[in-house]
Each structure stands twice: as C-alpha cells, then as structure tokens.
Chain A
C-alpha cells in the first residue's frame, strides 16, 4: 500500500500540493484525474522520490521514500514520466534491459535477458528490438519506455500521462495492457490521466484532485457524476451509461 501523509509541495510562492493524505490500495488500477495545475504530476513525482517534498511523508509498503535506499525502492516502485529524452544512442533492447539495472547493476544474467524479452513481447515490440530509439515514432518510443518500466518488475508502477503520443488504437491497447498488468501480473498501477472516459472504463479507483488537494475519491461509479465533475473541472458535462460504463460527453 502507498500511504501519502500530509504531503505538501511549495514551488516558490505557489503551493502546488497542499497537505494531501491518501492511501492507494494494493493491486488494481488507480487513476488520478483533475484539471491542469491541480498537482497530479507533482504528487506522483513526490511519491516516486523524483521531487523532494516540502512537508509530509510517503511510505511504500512501510518504506519511507525519502530515507529508504534508492536501489531498494527501485525494486518496489517504478515511475514513467511524460517526456523522456536520452542523449546516448540506444536500441530498444538496450533501453528495456536497463530496466534490470536495480537487480543486475549492469551485469545482465540470462534471467535478466529473459525478463527483458518477456517485457518486449508484452508490448509487442519484437520487430523493433534492434532499432534505435531516435528512429522510432513517438508512440513506439513510449511503448519501449513502458517495456523498460515493466521489465523493472516492481509491485507498484506509476505512470504520468501514459497515453501521450498515442492514437486511439494504441491508447486503448495501452490501457488494456495496464489492466492486464494489474490483473494477470498482480501489479499496483497508478496513472495520471486526462481522459475521463479512459479513467472511467479501466480504473478500479479514481482520485480527483483540484488546487493541490484531493477533492473526491472513490470507484468510477461514485466519481463519474455530473456534480462531482463540475466541482472538479468547473464545467458542465453530460454523463451517460454506454454498455454499462459511465461515459462523459464534453466536446460541445
């Protein structure tokens, strides 16, 4: 379980995250939604120790992320941010094999290679393994990064807007894949999402943030309500049941 306790982040004069307390349950998919600037990515960065917090504590299975050894945490929790730029020229295989670094420290065992091959297969990247990252499209590149994070084989996998760069088909495939990672591999997947309908269709639990604080949390059925969406986004939307799912219509 990820326990977030009174976590705050001040950037200059602005308060990005104000005293958030939240428990993210083990297993399943949890989505964090909210308008731009609500502090979703900042919160995720602090949970994954990329950003130091101004106040508060985060523990992952009892390990405090600010004080626990970084290489120990790398075997429990992994994070993928939105924009990843790399200065060296890597192939997809090289990148995915880096996911084994917390275990192998650069000396890959046959088991590490097997896990990397499995992650490559899981993301359907077999044809691209020897291609260099700078020769790939944005979506293919993103899939390679997801493969690296899955290759890291951690219980908790955090994604900051994983659907960036994806067309419809790949976005749906990615969400199905994350669902499978949670259901078949028993991982705890935490996502920051902008598309409410994806959040509604694929999450077990939704956390809605606004102005640096958690505004609402609950199951998709509890969150996907007109009044709740209005209070989070300041926007009137229509919500309909389509094939048993709550779908928002907000385009016009």
Chain B
C-alpha cells in the first residue's frame, strides 16, 4: 500500500510534532538575554500567534481546496484576505480612526468577521455550490475579485486623511514581528469555536472531495456543508489576516506539501500534517531569519517568494488534481 514511501501517516505526524517542538524550543531559548520573566512571555505571545496563524491558514486552505475540488486555488488567491482589508479600510473610511479606536477591539473584530462571512457567503457560494466550473474561470474570478477589492481599498486609502491612513497602515502592514497582541485572545477563541464546529464534519470532508455529484449520491447535504465550510474558512482567514496581514501563497505551500507527504486522502491526517508543517515553517523560518541571518526582513516576503514559485510550478505541471 505504501509502496513509494516507507513512512506511515502516523510516523509523518510524529516527526512533524518533533520538528515543531524543536523549532519552538529554539525560538524560545536561543539568544535570550536578560530576565526569563520578560523573554518567555514576550516570545511566547509571538509563538502563540504564529501557531494560530499557521493553523488558520493551513486548515482554511485545505478545506477550501476540498470544497472547490482543486489543489491550486486558495482563499488568498481567491481574494478572501483582500476582502478583509477592504472591510478594514471601509470601516476607517466610514467612521474614522477615532471612531475605530473608540470601539472595543474584540467587538470590532467580531463585526469584521460577521461582515466577512456575509460577503464571502454571497460572493463565493454560487461558485462552488453549483455544478462544477472550470478551474480557469475560478482563477480568473478570483483574480478579478482580488484586484477589485485591492483597488477599492487603494482608492479609499488615497481619499482619507493622511493621519487616518497612518493608523490604517499600522493595522494592515502587520508582520510576524509585530503581531497585534490585543487580538490574540479573541482570535484564539474564534479558532477554537471554528475547530469545534469543523470537527463535527470531519468525516464529511473526505466525501466532499469526491465531487458534488458523488457526495450527494452518498447522502451528504452538499449545499449546506459547502456553506458551513466557507463560513469556517472566512473566520479562519479573518483571524490570520487580522493577526499578521495577508500572506498570499503560504497556504498553497503548506497544503501542497501536506498532500505530498501525508500519504493519505483522509482529512483527519492531511489537516494535522498541514497545520504542523505551517507551524514548522513559520516558527522555524522566523527563528532562522531572526537568529541566524539576523535579517530584519518580514518572513512573509520569503514565504510568498517560495510559495509563488510552487504556485507557478503547479500551474505549469497542470497538476490540478
């Protein structure tokens, strides 16, 4: 059964757990100067946010690819995070940075997530709930939506007061070095809630991957399940974009790798493998950048560079399975 590789899925997961434990330990301890009472909480929040982001991106990408029946599109390529940025910009444009600052950040985040769910529901549901559509049409629609959202945000950013723009930029250009920690608790709660909902459908994802008609034949309520998955994806993308800003190709990178090494089609294995890979990439990558190369560049640039190459390679190989 495992003729091409010697590792069983469970071994892959154990190796990845070990790797992520190593990278987290390294990140927490290497180059620590001064009191541990400061270092550990300081780095701990960074780790926590990277784990949350890794989990959110990996799970949202794999689930999105399952409901869209392809392995090239990701929520970011389809413009989900551009939509989140548009909502952020629109809020500042409409009520001003003063008004936004007055609001409770958790409440604000909740409002943004709700808006995100409503809009992504309207925009994307028809794409996936109907009969199968061509991959090229989907990519095209995604690019057009992405450009539309970015242009609208760009327009509003040019029109608003420069001071407000600075506030906005501060919110949007977050990187892994400068995580918005005020949102950490509410993000963790949102991720936990989506995971609890998503867990109940774990066995359905494998069937959904068989395509709309086969899954209906096997008794899955396709439209309802796809809608639920898209809502979960919208929440997870909101979490990751709120914490670190858009990382376009990271999801594609970890999802493609996860399909390769998981050695199984089962989501119960692919999802943890993708999540662990994401954590290893983020924490390990951040460690290498910060401690070894002493770069002050954002990890997301490196990730997008590598991920973009993988995306092109997948497109050229025509590997749309």
Contacts and interface: CB of A to CB of B under 8 A. Distances in A.
A94 B207 CA distance: 11
Interface in B235-280: 259, 265
B221 interface: yes
A134 B319 CA distance: 12
Chain A, interface size: which category?
20 to 34
Interface in A19-59: 48-50
Given A79-B213, A94-B265, A107-B203, A87 B69 contact: yes
Contact of A89 (B203, B206, B214, B321): B321
A218 B133 CA distance: 38
Contact of B210 (A69, A89, A98): A98
A216 interface: no
A85 B211 contact: yes
Contacts of B207: 98, 101, 106
A8 to B, nearest CB: 19
Contacts of A48: 216-217
Chain B, interface size: which category?
20 to 34
A26 B203 CA distance: 33
A101 B218 CA distance: 6
A4 to B, nearest CB: 18
A82 to B, nearest CB: 10
A154 B209 CA distance: 22
B206 A79 contact: no
Contacts of B212: 50
Contact of B213 (A50, A99, A102): A50
Contact of A70 (B65, B132, B219): B219
Contacts of B1: 91, 130
Interface string B180-214: 00000000000000000000001110110111111
B209 A74 contact: no
A84 B265 contact: no
A76 to B, nearest CB: 10
A19 B66 CA distance: 37
Contacts of A84: 211, 213-214
Contacts of B214: 84, 86, 98
Interface string B70-114: 110000000000000000000000000000000000000000000
A49 B70 CA distance: 24
B220 interface: yes
B42 to A, nearest CB: 42
A248 interface: no
A60 to B, nearest CB: 13
A145 to B, nearest CB: 8
A196 to B, nearest CB: 27
Contacts of B71: 87
Contacts of B202: 106
A88 B265 CA distance: 6
B219 A88 contact: no
Contacts of A86: 209-211, 214, 321
A106 B214 CA distance: 15
List 5 tightest A-B contacts by C-beta distance, closest first: A74-B219, A106-B203, A71-B219, A88-B265, A102-B219
30 contacts: A50-B213, A50-B217, A70-B216, A70-B220, A70-B221, A71-B220, A71-B221, A84-B211, A85-B132, A86-B211, A87-B66, A87-B71, A87-B211, A88-B206, A88-B209, A88-B265, A89-B259, A90-B265, A91-B1, A98-B206, A98-B210, A98-B214, A101-B218, A101-B219, A102-B218, A106-B202, A106-B203, A106-B207, A107-B203, A149-B217
Interface of B: 1, 65-66, 69-71, 132, 202-204, 206-207, 209-214, 216-221, 259, 265, 320-321
Given A70-B219, A89-B321, A152-B218, 11 more contacts: A50-B213, A71-B219, A79-B217, A80-B217, A86-B209, A86-B211, A87-B69, A90-B265, A105-B203, A106-B202, A106-B206
